Structure 1
């Protein structure tokens, strides 16, 4: 563990209809989905009150700080709420901190976000309302802690953007975001407003999801469903590019924090629809140098194995590094959208399978759902439906290792992974390479 002194510091001041349109997402087993499921809550589980959950501590040398920002794009009307003449986003910026004493650990979700998540989420089909106190979970990022100086890195800490799965909040990737920040990255997680269950703004307003309404508008028409999937991805990419613009705009970030961000070394990762967003955003914006897609289909289709309606990242590929990581049976040999990106890409690319994982294994659910099972009696079949059979500690360790190794290699130019990305490793037998 590194030791930091004060002189190293820089002070930083839908119902079932939706499932037909967006099958998969977090509740799908073994499917790299971009979509968003909605299911009916089951009968209450055992217990006398909502259970409280924890997240795993990061393993890097740095303690982690976090600050949240409200960003307003006055040049773009909100695509989901026509009467709003601007697009409003919330992002969290995690960063290496030098001291966290006196700075409380940030909640995974703010109260309004937790209430919205409890009312409707990708997990409502399996975890009934009121089972979990979603607002009680704490991350390992400390609110507004002073940022560390990037010792040995005169340009600052590389920046990694995070986009969550469709219908998930930005906070449901806290495990990997905390880990990357503890290893010397500035991690910017993005909430896609009116898609996430609830986005809470500094004045207390909570923008709740509009996805159920959007799904109803399609009336099950295939062409309208494809159009909605295209719009969903286009909005996410536009959000991402706007956030990048803002990170480079003077005054957008607290001054001390802005000075430690290296915006010439930007990567992006995401799960499900967020993985698709990462790849598509890198295709569209050359500021993004490397991307990781965690189990996200990369075409506008309801069926992973349908080659119809490909994306431009699929048709044209990528000339920069891309890491694919998915569940068993879904890889560039079996999923047409992954195959298209693979065959058309001239940049470095790898395809990894995490054995025993399910779709939500690539979110905080991997660590949290087994706790729900132990504390509230969630049946094993439901646990496996959400997070598979992989041991949570092994799944989290593997994701941390491979995602960090990828960004170390391509944003820092450091080959410190002992060949982890070059072939199978005895350290992680759960991870298989698909050539």
Structure 2
């Protein structure tokens, strides 16, 4: 690939499926799909295999240096011939078995139709970067709908598989690493995983800026995370000043923010429920901040799995029908990054919207939300 994507970095073959090729029908609507992104650019994707030689793996030290897989979405000049596969059949199997879901075929999560193409040229220039950290046991692909949307709007997006913290991480040599932290036996795991993820993110950022610097604007970097990935956003910002803004997508703050506070822009984007840890840390956010609650959402609504599960005929209690969870998350998270990385006014973040009546503006002192 020409341009920056040709630099010497360990790039794994990305799993692909023929553009538009259908998989086996799944109830109730046929082949599951991610909604098309709304930005002006086609979306490209590649995978990176990165090794942090300065750090032993925190969960399995005998494994040696910390290894990570990263998906990198970017605005492309044109569409390609092959779309990326959502995940492999083996990854799908381990995910469904891990969550003890037996009512759909084990390869079901390898079937969704994505909107990102492999082997396509990036749009020239330097772009703002958003780093993504998924929920515990979930894969980096679980935030694909958000990543595709941001890339279509001109962002570079890097989503990280935190090895040994999910049901499967697949490396280019064929190794499939399973979850070493899922047995609940690690003391103070909630705090340790937040620290570890912050280090993972900073390492990935070092690699991206060092090897792909002509694609990324180092003055415009932000982060979003879902669930425990969201809990790690604040810690990352406290330890890495390069990350200028952060969005926590329905993540309990397992490790408190420092009492001295965090002065950079921050957003809680959550279910319509109370969380004492967010109440506590809301007061420690001393800069621009918002707390938006989504009525009808469940935990999975802040990743792809709400809309995909509904398409597969699975019911986890969400009241956001069809692709609504994706539409809401894309709109508000993109507005947040446009506001703070591009300095573009965003009325959506200033007042309730008739287009998104599910979303309320909240503070711990203000109940109910408006």
TM-score normalised by the chain length of structure 2: 0.87
Separation in 2 of the partners of 1:116 and 1:125? 10
CA RMSD of superposed structures (Å): 2.1
Counterparts of 1:210 and 1:321, CA distance in 2: 34
* Aligned counterpart, 1:284: 239
> By how many angstroms is 1:355 displaced?
0.9
Structure whose residues are more often helix by fraction: 1
The answer on whether the counterparts of 2:256 and 2:277 sit within 8 Å (CA) in structure 1 is: no
CA contact (8 A) 1:317 1:340 kept: no
Q: 2:228 and 2:118 mapped to 1: Cα distance?
A: 28
| Alpha carbons 2:80, 2:119 under 8 Å: kept | no
SS at match of 1:316: coil
What is the match of residue 139 of structure 1? 114
8 Å CA contact 1:276, 1:297 repeated in 2: yes
**Correspondent of 1:130 among 83, 86, 105:** 105
Equivalent in the alignment of 1:72: 51
Deviation at 1:101, TM superposition (A): 3.1
- For structure 2, list consecutive stretches of 5 or more residues without a partner in the other structure: 7-25, 364-370
User: Secondary structure of the equivalent of 1:392?
Assistant: coil
Determine if contact 2:227/2:248 at 8 Å carries over to the other structure. yes
Partner of 1:147, secondary structure, is coil
Deviation string, structure 1 residues 341-398 (Cα, Å, up to 9, x no partner) = 211221100000111101111111121111111xxxx4xxx431xxx11223332222
**Aligned pairs (5 A) from 1:235-274:** 235-249=196-210, 252-253=211-212, 258-274=213-229
Q: Give SS of 1:403's match.
A: helix
Q: What is residue 204 of structure 1 aligned with on the other side?
A: 174
After superposition, the C-alpha distances for 1:181-207 in whole angstroms (9 at most, x for unaligned) are 001100000000011111111111111
Change (3 A) 1:147 1:351: same
Count of matched residue positions in the alignment of Structure 1 and Structure 2: 342
1:88-111 alpha-carbon deviations (Å, 9 max, x no partner)? 000011000001233x11011134
Residue 345 of structure 1 aligns to a residue whose secondary structure is coil
**Secondary structure, counterpart of 1:281 in structure 2:** helix
Corresponding residue number in structure 1 for 2:10: none
Aligned to 2:87: 109
1:431 is matched with: 359
| 2:5 is the counterpart of 1:12 | yes
Counterpart selection for 1:383 from 294, 298, 316: 316
Cα distance between partner residues in 2 of 1:185 and 1:177: 9
Quickly say closer, same or farther: Cα 1:173–1:83, change in 2 above 3 A: same
Give the Cα separation in 1 of the matches to 2:273 and 2:57. Answer: 38
- Counterpart Cα distance in 2 of 1:393 and 1:78: 37
Which structure 1 segments of 5+ residues have no match? 1-8, 14-46, 151-155, 219-223, 300-310
For the 8 Å contact 2:225–2:249, the answer to whether it is kept is: yes
